Amino acid sequence: MFRVSLVSGFFCLSMCLAAPAHAADPLRIGEINSYKAQPAFLEPYRKAMLLAVEEVNAAGGILGRPLELVIRDDNGVPGDAVRAAEELVSRERVVMLAGGFLSNVGLALGDYARQRRIPFLASEPLTDKITWANGNRYTFRLRPSTWMQVSMLVPEAAKLRKKRWAIVYPNYEYGQSAVQTFKTLLKAAQPDVEFVTEQATPLGKLDAGPVVQALEASKPDAIFNVLFATDLTKFVREGAMRGLFKGREVVSLLSGEPEYLEPLRDEAPEGWIVTGYPWYAIKTPEHQRFLDAYRGKYGEPPRQGSVVGYVTIHAAAEALRRAKSTDAEKIVDAFRGMPLTTPWGPIVFRPQDNQATLGAFVGRTALQGEGAQRMGVMVDFYYADGAKYQPSDAEVAKLRPAR
């Protein structure tokens, strides 16, 4: 059964097994995330985590013990995340931490993991600092980093041969990092490129009218967009109304993810170059097994967050199996270089920087369907293997301090 309760202001969800009282004590993973602040991504994420826990326990658990997930909400605030982590470690006796959505929260949890010497699997935060500048032995990251995803988009951007680029992004760690990487990599690929304006907006508080007006006034040939969630919806609607996208190419990070594309329905943009997750058109055995399991349990299709949550739990379980122990140092050693099969194919957690080689899908947006069923999808997509979008070992050594 599931037990849901409110503990010290944090949302707590534990998966409890209908097992006899003398059964082995569960292995607990503490998961911290911005459930109230980012529900579109994190509700599917949570569901897929619980599916994965069920699968692990149905297969016999770990080290003869059931796996249990204990969840806390960080409210999108780094300080709250650290307090939740301390409560999970000190009171709940978790053997590992996981989660994080916003980059600033992920960085705070990574630093906590370093100080307390407990393994932390950063499932979603994209900031490069998690595995590079602020990287440490105890912190691993699952999703492709900002640098990786931007480097997947830059070759497509360079093919456009557009000279004048405008940029819009959320003004915090993730957005700042994405813009810097895009400018650096595109300039290297196309030296004559110009960046004619940058619009940095408060996260979750986009005033779309002035931003779109400023972008239009700069007369760009193309736009690089890093907005997501409700900010993306506002930007797309205002930009379409003012004709910002007419005759202009748009390269947009994350905008092909169902969480952000589907709410727009028939207002979704057409022809944007994006990273995302076209679950409806991936034809591999690994993905089909995941799709069938998720739909079978929840009666709905998965989202990007679903894949991240599902792989997070299976990665944590595999590290515990390999460690054959709950000792933190042995778990960390097990993670380093660990291979794992995912719904998108095989990945490895690189020992150079604790970054997984999970990739992303790159393609263009389009509208498909009729009437009320008309909505945005990804077409002409391909899977960009994360192993191919990594800096050299020499570069990583310069970026990552010895800790």
User: Domain segments of the chain: what residues?
Assistant: 2-145+284-358, 147-279+360-388
- Residue 74, phi then psi, degrees to nearest 5: -95, 0
C-alpha 224/C-alpha 226 separation (Å) is 7
User: What is the identity of the amino acid at 310?
Assistant: Y
Tell me the mean pLDDT in the region 381-390.
97
C-beta neighbour count of 144 within 10 angstroms: 25
Label residue 284 left, alpha or beta by phi (over 0 means left) and psi (-120 to 50 means alpha): beta
Q: What percent of the chain has pLDDT over 90?
A: 91
Domain 2-145+284-358 has CATH 1.50.10.20: no
Is the pLDDT at 30 greater than 90, yes or no? yes
Is the pLDDT at 78 greater than 90, yes or no? yes
Q: What predicted TM-score, i.e. pTM, was given to this entire model?
A: 0.91
C-alpha 241/C-alpha 237 separation (Å) is 6
Is the pLDDT at 240 greater than 70, yes or no? yes
In the structure, how many helices (H) and strands (E) does the chain have? 12, 16
Matching fold, domains 2-145+284-358 and 147-279+360-388: yes
CA 270, 272, 273, 274 torsion-angle sign: negative
Task: Among 36-40, 104-108, 377-381, name the one with the lowest average pLDDT.
Answer: 36-40
Tell me the mean pLDDT in the region 331-360.
98
C-alpha 394/C-alpha 192 separation (Å) is 28
How is residue 106 written in tokens? Answer: 């992920």
Place of tokens 């590079």: 132
Is the pLDDT at 234 greater than 70, yes or no? yes
How much is the pLDDT for 6?
Answer: 30
Q: Are 187 and 157 in contact (CB under 8 A)?
A: no
Tell me the mean pLDDT in the region 212-216.
97
How much is the pLDDT for 23?
Answer: 57
C-beta neighbour count of 401 within 10 angstroms: 11
Strand ranges for 226-300 from DSSP E: 249-256, 273-276
Q: What is the DSSP string of 31-61?
A: EEE-TTT-HHHHHHHHHHHHHHHHHHHHTT-
Nearest to 312 by CA among 109, 53, 88: 53
User: What is the identity of the amino acid at 335?
Assistant: F
Q: What percent of the chain has pLDDT over 70?
A: 94
C-beta neighbour count of 305 within 10 angstroms: 28
How is residue 97 written in tokens? Answer: 């931490």
Q: Which CATH architecture has domain 147-279+360-388?
A: 3-Layer(aba) Sandwich (3.40)
Is the pLDDT at 402 greater than 90, yes or no? no
Q: Are 259 and 304 in contact (CB under 8 A)?
A: yes
| All residues at 6 or more sequence positions from 371 whose CB lies less than 8 Å from its CB, including other chains | none
How is residue 359 written in tokens? Answer: 């990739």
Cα dihedral value 228, 375, 150, 402, nearest 10: 60
Strand ranges for 159-318 from DSSP E: 164-170, 194-201, 222-225, 249-256, 273-276
**For residue 229, what is the enclosing H or E element?**
helix 229-241
Beta bridge partners of 211: none
Tell me the mean pLDDT in the region 216-232.
97
Is the pLDDT at 9 greater than 70, yes or no? no
Is the pLDDT at 13 greater than 80, yes or no? no
**Which is higher by pLDDT, 23 or 73?**
73
In our burial notation (b when 16+ CB lie closer than 10 A, e otherwise), range 204-234 reads eebebeebbeebbebebbbbbbbbbbebbbb
Tell me the mean pLDDT in the region 207-213.
97
Mean pLDDT of the chain: 93
Is the pLDDT at 74 greater than 70, yes or no? yes
